Chains A and B, each alone.
Chain A
Amino acid sequence: DAMVIQNPRYQVTQFGKPVTLSCSQTLNHNVMYWYQQKSSQAPKLLFHYYDKDFNNEADTPDNFQSRRPNTSFCFLDIRSPGLGDAAMYLCATSRDGIETQYFGPGTRLLVL
Chain B
Amino acid sequence: EDKVVQSPLSLVVHEGDTVTLNCSYEVTNFRSLLWYKQEKKAPTFLFMLTSSGIEKKSGRLSSILDKKELFSILNITATQTGDSAIYLCVVRIGGGTSYGKLTFGQGTILTVHP
Contact = CB atoms under 8 A, between A and B. Distances in A.
Contacts of A45: 101-102
B99 A97 contact: yes
Nearest to B43: A103
Given A43-B104, A55-B99, A100 B48 contact: yes
A105 B41 contact: yes
A31 interface: yes
A43 B98 contact: no
15 contacts: A31-B100, A41-B106, A42-B105, A42-B107, A43-B104, A44-B104, A50-B98, A50-B99, A90-B42, A96-B97, A97-B92, A98-B31, A100-B45, A101-B102, A103-B36
A48 B43 CA distance: 18
Contacts of B105: 42
A12 B105 CA distance: 29
- Dominant secondary structure at the A interface: loop
Given A42-B88, A43-B104, A106 B99 contact: no
Interface in B54-104: 88, 92, 94, 97-102, 104
Contacts, number: 53
A48 B34 CA distance: 19
A94 interface: yes
A24 B99 CA distance: 18
Given A97-B98, A103-B42, 5 more contacts: A42-B104, A42-B106, A94-B99, A96-B97, A103-B43
A106 B41 CA distance: 7
B43 A43 contact: yes
B28 interface: no
A96 B106 CA distance: 26
